Amino acid sequence: MRDALRRLVVWMHSDRYPTWSMPESTVHSLEEALGPGWTVDVIREPTFAGGDGSREIPPAVLRAVADAEIYFGFGISRDLFLAAPRLRWVHSAAAGARASLFPEMCESEVVLTNSAGIYAEPLAEWAMAAVFYFARGFDVAERGARECRWPYDEMAAFGHPQREVAGSTIGIVGYGGIGRSIGRRAKALGMRVLAVRSRSPDGAVEGADESFGPEGLVEVLERSHYVVLSLPETSVTTGLIGASELARMRPDSVLLNLSRGGIVDEDALVDALGSGRIRGAALDVFREEPLPADSPLWTLENVLITPHAGAISPRFWEREMDLMVSNVGHYLAGGRMENVVDKRRGY
């Protein structure tokens, strides 16, 4: 080793997007939490905040992790992991963990934690904004504005697309930290909340009027005016919403995807939207990102597209720092850490 100090390496830096660069105040908080005998190496090379550590790893990062005990980044790649034989704990500032679960990581005793829940508040607000966008016909009004046309007939005639949010039903597929935050807001607005969890619930679920295991997905799709996808992408959930599932949704329903693009069959969704089989879709994530210019999703009038930006918040580092500092304390004390990823389940 370069010295006798135990080492935490942090690679959370973006030249283009300050939102994803760890501030110095957070670095100081980590140093204080670790205490004497530790050093914190902060790598200022640009990284990719999408959850896989980076598409390319600069040599400076590989050198830094060679004797690191802890690594903090936006996920970790296989090459980076193999360059760090002393690792005992990896923390990801991303919510998803799939890209970090390569065989060597899964077979190791290295603890992997993620930031699930850190993004719950802004994503819940994104979901509710999308609900109101379609409930009040803003898509119709926006189209009229673009065409310099007064769309009153479309918004007021028989069969108009508007409804009151209160009294409508929202199905939340994936009822973790993000799902519960959405559920709380929906309940406060007078909505009926149906929750789908990865396992059948044993009893009442916080904030939900009804709760289901995976076997209840179809029933929730059939009953919901709004279907929110807030679950991790795993081998089980990839392609979860395909043509048959979309066919079970109400014709006046809206699909909201704020988790991962691979959970939805995008071609089937385009068909359902283009044919008017469902009312609309609000999408923050896509099969390919950035969304290609030739994607038919761009041309559909009943789609709200945001560029995987639903989680952006000026309070991100406040919440992330609290989680990291808390887990540093647990790690040093040998206690149970928060947000430990189940490598077998994938989240």
User: Which residues are tagged catalytic?
Assistant: 260, 289, 308
CA angle 267, 271, 276 (to 5 degrees): 150
CA angle 101, 105, 110 (to 5 degrees): 125
The helix (H) or strand (E) run that includes residue 180 is helix 177-188
Contacts of 63 (CB under 8 A, 6+ apart): none
Cα separation, 169 vs 292, in Å, equals 33
SS3 176: coil
Cα separation, 71 vs 94, in Å, equals 13
Cα separation, 288 vs 59, in Å, equals 28
Residue 8, phi then psi, degrees to nearest 5 = -110, 125
The answer to whether 276 touches 252, Cβ cutoff 8 Å, is no
Cα separation, 230 vs 125, in Å, equals 13
Cα separation, 233 vs 96, in Å, equals 7
Contacts of 91 (CB under 8 A, 6+ apart): 70, 71, 72, 73, 112, 113, 114, 115, 324, 327
Residue 346 φ/ψ region, left for φ over 0, alpha for ψ in the -120 to 50 degree band, beta for the rest:
left
Burial class (CB within 10 angstroms; exposed 0-12, middle 13-18, buried 19+) of 338: middle
Cβ atoms < 10 Å from Cβ of 274: 15
